[in-house]
Structure 1
C-alpha cells in the first residue's frame, strides 16, 4: 500500500457554497493503515470517492471540536456501520470527543436500535472506542507513532497538531492555530507539513459573505495563520513539502493558486502545494 495523503476537504470554516470545497478532512495512508484526520462535513463522501470502502474504517483522529472538524464524525461512523462495518474502530480526539459521540448515539437511538433488531447488525456503540488525548505520544503501534502538540487556537484550548511517523516518513498536521513557533520543532524535517493558511487580502471577501464584521475579523487574526506564517514555520522546520490547507478564502474565484504560491515563495524554499478537495500527495 503506497504512502499517500489525500485532501478530502480543504476550506476553513463550516459554511459550504455551490461548487465550492468542503470543510476539513484528510486521509493518510501510512504503515499499511488508512487514517482519517478530522471529520468536517463531506468526509464520508470524500472517502468513498477515493475508492475506500467505509467498512474498512478503523482509525480516526480529531484535532479539536470546532464543527468544521468534527461535524460528520458520528455520521461517518454510522454510515460505515450501515455499509457493513463489523470490526472495532478507535477515535482519538481531545477532551469532549466522547460526549460528541455519545450525544450522536442518543440522537440516532431509534434508527440504531431498529437496524440492530431488523437487519441483524452488531451494536454500533460497542464497535467504537473513543480515546481522549493530550500532549505527547497518543498511539504507538508497530512502526507507527502518533504524537500530539497543543497549539494556539483561542478560545479553544484543547486543539492539537498531530505528527504521524513510520516507515521512514513523517507527516505533520498543524490543526487550526495562530502562528506557533514550537510547531517548527515538532515538524522538524517532516516529509509533509499540512498547515492552515489565510490570505490577508481575502479576509474582506470572507467577512462580507459570512457576516459578523469586525468580530469575525478579530477571531480570524487572533486564532489563525496567514500563508506567510505557515511558510515561516515550514522553513524553520526544514520540511520537504508544505501543504496549505483549511484555506481562507477557499471558494472566491478572485484568488487563484498563484496568490497562495506568491505568499509562500519568498519565504519557503521547499515545494508547496495548495489544498484542493481530492488532491493526492505521495510521500
Structure 2
C-alpha cells in the first residue's frame, strides 16, 4: 500500500507565469485513501499525471475559498463525471463551498443536460456531498482520521489547517496563515508538516510585477508566514519533517532553494524539503525522492 504525498502545485497566489510553478494543491495517499487538498488551477491534469485517476479520489478538502485553492474544484469534479464517475464523492470545505458548486453547476446546465440525454449519464448533483469545516471539526475516512484547526489568514476568516492520521503516519497541512503559534500544538509530533512559506526579501519584487494589486504588499505581510517563522512552528511542534509549500515567491529567478533553506535553518535543524511541482514524498521514509507520481 502506497503512503505518500505528492505536491501537485507549490506556488502561492493565483497568477501563472511561463515556466513557473502552479498554484497550490496536494495529493495525499494514506492507508489506501487518495485525498486531494485544495484545487488550484491545473489540478485535474496534475492528479492524473501523478498516476491517480480522477475516479479514484476518495475525498477532497478545500482549506479556504481564495481562488488559488478552489478555482478548479468544479472543473475537476465535472471532469471526473464526464470520465465516468459513478460513486458518491465528499468535499470538505469552509462555509460557501457548496454555494460555489451550485453556481458552477448552474453555469454548466446546458452541457449537463445534454450529456444526460445524449450519453445516458447519471445526474451529478446527487453524487457530490459537502461537509462544512469549522473549529474542532473531526471526521474519519475509514482508517484515516481528520481534524481541522482555524488559522489566521486575514481577511479570510474561514481558513483551516488539516491533520490526517492513518497508516501509521500523521501529516499536517498549515493552509494559508500568518505566523500562528497555536498551529504548533495542532501539529505536535506529526511525521510531516506541510507549511506555507514566504521570503520577505522577495515580496517587493513580486508586488512590482503584479498588475492592479495596490494593496498586495500589505496582504502578503499580514496573511503569510515568513520562512524563519515556519521553522519556529516546526521546532515547537517537534515534527519529523518540514515541507515548504505555497511558496511566495515561487517563480523569481533571484531566489532559489538555497535561499529558502538559509532562512528556515535559522530556526529549524531537522529534515527539510523545499517543495516543487510534482515532487513525491514517501511517508515513513526520508525526504522527497524527486519523482513525479
> Shorter-chain TM-score category?
over 0.9
Q: Secondary structure at the match of 1:136?
A: coil
Partner residue in 1 for 2:37? 37
Structure 2 stretches lacking a partner, 5+ long: 284-293
Partner residue in 1 for 2:18? 18
CA deviations 1:42-63 (Å, max 9, x no partner) are 1001001011111212300000
Partner residue in 2 for 1:73? 73
Partner Cα separation in structure 2 for residue 166 and residue 53 of structure 1: 21
Partner Cα separation in structure 2 for residue 172 and residue 180 of structure 1: 14
Asked if the contact 2:20–2:251 (Cα under 8 Å) also holds between the matched residues in 1, the reply is: yes
Partner residue in 1 for 2:185? 185
Partner residue in 1 for 2:107? 107
Q: TM-score, normalised by structure 1?
A: 0.98
Q: CA deviation at 1:196?
A: 0.5
Partner Cα separation in structure 2 for residue 77 and residue 264 of structure 1: 37
Runs (4+) of structure 1 exceeding 2 A deviation are 211-214
Q: CA deviation at 1:214?
A: 5.8
Partner residue in 1 for 2:205? 205
CA deviations 1:198-246 (Å, max 9, x no partner) are 1011111110111356621111011110111111000000001111110
Partner residue in 2 for 1:153? 153
CA deviations 1:171-195 (Å, max 9, x no partner) are 0000000000000000001011011
Query: Residues 57 and 141 (structure 1 numbering): CA distance in 2 closer, same or farther, change over 3 Å?
Result: closer
Partner residue in 1 for 2:53? 53
Partner residue in 2 for 1:217? 217
Asked if the contact 2:133–2:160 (Cα under 8 Å) also holds between the matched residues in 1, the reply is: no
Partner residue in 2 for 1:164? 164
Structure 1 stretches lacking a partner, 5+ long: none
Partner Cα separation in structure 2 for residue 29 and residue 280 of structure 1: 11
Asked if the contact 1:57–1:80 (Cα under 8 Å) also holds between the matched residues in 2, the reply is: no
Q: TM-score, normalised by structure 2?
A: 0.94
Partner Cα separation in structure 1 for residue 116 and residue 132 of structure 2: 27
Q: Secondary structure at the match of 1:110?
A: helix
Superposition RMSD on alpha carbons, in Å? 1.0
Question: Matched residue pairs, number?
Answer: 283
Partner residue in 1 for 2:291? none
